Amino acid sequence: MENQLDIIATPAVDQSALSIWSACLSSIQGQVPSQSFKTWFEPVKASKLENGELTVQVPSQFFYEWLEEHYYSLIKATISRFMGEDARLTYVVVPPDEAGNGSDVHPAAAIRLQNDPAVSAIRLGPSFSLKESEENLPPSKTFLNPRYTFNNFIKGDSNQLARAAASAVSNNPGGTSFNPLVIYGGTGLGKTHLIQAIGNYAFEAGKAKRVCYVSSEKFTIEFVDAIQSDKTREFSNYYRSMDLLVVDDIQFFSGKEKTQDSFFHTFNTLHQMGKQIVLSSDKPPKDLRGLDERLISRFQWGLTADIQPPDLETRTAILLKKCEDDNIEIPQEVLDFIATNVTSNIRELEGCYISLLAKASLENREINLDLARDVLRLVVSDVRSPITVEEIQRQVAEFFDIPPDLLRAKTRKQEIVSARQVAMYLAKEMTNCSLKTIGLHFGGRDHSTVIHAYQSVEDQIKLDSKYRDTLQLARKKIENSSR
């Protein structure tokens, strides 16, 4: 069977490479149509076997892409069968006139071959790479917003995983298992900020020389322009030359079949070269509609991390950071008031902050709660005052019909202890105060007392439905008092 494949050794070709590739071709020949085998496999020539890596020659970049798209699984399984699970396959693009053989090339490939640059070392396996002299690469711009950095991205429980993954990727682009890194979440939650922070850090720290940020809309427009101006090769070469490609809002690729096909090949090339891909969307990849299944599958190769709406503590921290950056002092009660009422997303939160400053400047007014209420009435239909520990104590004491002072006293009467634990629990749930601060409000008690109280209430909720209902009534009473 090997002889029928007519693989001819030359002094420059590794005999062991010929033997392994001959065995692989014999196996593949029985699994694909004869014409497909003749067109796409016979022209592939083995050249070297070294350290578990088999190098083969293909006539063009298009030829490689066709094999990868249509026969990836078959080739990978075959190579693994004959060389082991850790085997690697390297493609070297060598045009026919340089290869010194008469390999037949599919007509479509021959047409593309005229425009395809010679590219070396495209790897199949865990360590893909595409080596091309840097002087031949098209010049690039990052298109990153320099304001989007990790330093001014506020960490919180709502974005903890996404922030940690972004940091890891920015320090080692293409070198982690988070490739691609897909960050998803609703509008205005900081996705664009975070993915651009990856690009800014990687570029400035020298972790990636060629970095590009592009929205899916811009990618689509550029692709259409490239088709109209007959520059699709330049378009593809540009994006495939990146060390780190950041693409925003991939959900807008929906329904754009040709653009998706172009991005599919760009994704494949970058991923197989070990370059980093970072994506954002409004949904996890599995829930995206109107996208090719091939793309969705690849988007799920790495890590998918979500960003949720920020909690009260994070919202307050974001406002404090804005004040720090702008060197502006705003009373804490005003910041708490805004953070309490603007809960949907960060963009709206920052919009209220800007409106507050603008209104204070234009109307020459002091920044206080009254001004904040005026601003928020234009944005939020149900404006509430910030909930404080003192207000929780007052409302809980009234609910349980006891004097508020007893919640801060040392008494161990069971009915007082129970009310105090409820108040501590609700203070932790409904404010952004630390455990230490909450303890101080309850007669200078230690933070461990607050933890014990919180856990006691949690345990009681699970065991007693009436107790759970009572707690909900107390919570509603506090919420209504803030309106």
Q: Decide: 78 and 27 in contact? Cβ < 8 Å.
A: yes
Residue 133 φ then ψ, to 5°: -60, 135
Q: What is the DSSP letter of 59?
A: S
Domain ranges of the chain: 3-131, 160-307, 312-376, 389-481
Contacts within 8 Å (CB) and 24+ apart, 17-25: 17/46, 17/47, 17/48, 17/49, 17/54, 17/55, 17/56, 18/46, 20/46, 20/49, 20/54, 20/82, 20/83, 21/45, 21/46, 21/54, 21/56, 22/46, 23/82, 24/75, 24/78, 24/79, 24/82
Q: Which amino acid is at 299?
A: F
pTM beyond 0.75, yes or no = no
* Local structure of 363: helix, strand or coil: coil
Element (H, E) at 246: strand 244-248
Mean pLDDT of the chain: 83
124: β partners: 89
At residue 127 the predicted structure's pLDDT band, cuts being 50, 70 and 90, is very low
Q: Look up residue 405 and give its two tokens.
A: 């002072």
**pLDDT score for 246:** 97
Length of the chain: 483
Q: Which amino acid is at 363?
A: E
CA distance 284 to 306: 8
Q: Which of 4-8, 15-19, 455-459 has the lowest mean pLDDT?
A: 4-8
Q: Decide: 378 and 341 in contact? Cβ < 8 Å.
A: no
At residue 482 the predicted structure's pLDDT band, cuts being 50, 70 and 90, is low
**Helix orientation angle between 15-29 and 61-83, rounded to the nearest 10 degrees:** 100
Percent of the chain with pLDDT over 70: 86
Q: What is the DSSP letter of 178?
A: -
188, pLDDT greater than 90: no
| Range 341-364 burial, b when 16+ CB lie within 10 A, else e | bbeebbeebeebbebbbebbeeee
**pLDDT score for 377:** 81
- Reported as a single tens digit per residue, the pLDDT across 200-241 is 999 999 999 999 999 999 999 999 999 999 998 889 989 999
Q: What is the mean pLDDT of residues 358-380?
A: 86
CA distance 432 to 156: 12
- Residue 421 CA from chain centroid, whole number: 40
389-481 adopts what CATH topology?
A: Chromosomal Replication Initiator Protein Dnaa; Chain: A; (1.10.1750)
Question: How are beta strands 303-307 and 45-50 bridged, if at all?
Answer: unpaired
CA distance 483 to 481: 6
Residue 417 φ then ψ, to 5°: -60, -45
- Reported as a single tens digit per residue, the pLDDT across 380-415 is 756 666 788 998 999 999 999 999 899 999 888 999
3-131 adopts what CATH topology?
A: GMP Synthetase; Chain A, domain 3 (3.30.300)
Percent of the chain with pLDDT over 90: 42
Q: What is the mean pLDDT of residues 352-378?
A: 88
CA distance 50 to 407: 76
**pLDDT score for 117:** 31
Which residues lie closer than 8 Å to 419 by C-beta, 6 or more apart?
396, 397, 400, 402, 406, 407
Q: Which of 54-63, 261-270, 442-451 has the lowest mean pLDDT?
A: 54-63
Q: Would you call 480 exposed, middle or buried from its count of C-beta atoms within 10 A (0-12, 13-18, 19+)?
A: exposed
Handedness of CA 292, 295, 297, 299 (dihedral sign): negative
**3-131 matches 160-307 in fold:** no
E strand intervals along 35-112: 45-50, 53-58, 88-93
Asked if CATH classification 3.40.640.10 holds for the domain at 312-376, the reply, yes or no, is no
With tokens 């902050």, the residue in question is 353
- Reported as a single tens digit per residue, the pLDDT across 22-77 is 999 999 998 888 888 888 898 898 988 888 888 888 877 777 777 877 788 888 88
- Reported as a single tens digit per residue, the pLDDT across 97-125 is 545 443 333 322 322 222 333 333 333 33
Residue 153 φ then ψ, to 5°: -100, 115
CA distance 243 to 272: 12
Q: Decide: 156 and 317 in contact? Cβ < 8 Å.
A: yes
333, pLDDT greater than 60: yes
Q: What is the mean pLDDT of residues 69-87?
A: 84
Alpha helices in 208-331 (DSSP H): 216-228, 232-240, 257-272, 293-299, 312-326
Q: How many CB atoms lie within 10 A of CB 180?
A: 24
Contacts within 8 Å (CB) and 24+ apart, 357-366: 357/326, 357/328
Q: Decide: 214 and 158 in contact? Cβ < 8 Å.
A: no
Classify domain 160-307 by CATH architecture: 3-Layer(aba) Sandwich (3.40)
Of the ranges 78-92, 131-145, 174-188, 336-350, the best mean pLDDT one: 174-188
Q: Which of 138-147, 363-372, 453-462 has the lowest mean pLDDT?
A: 138-147
Element (H, E) at 182: strand 181-185
Q: What is the mean pLDDT of residues 237-263?
A: 93
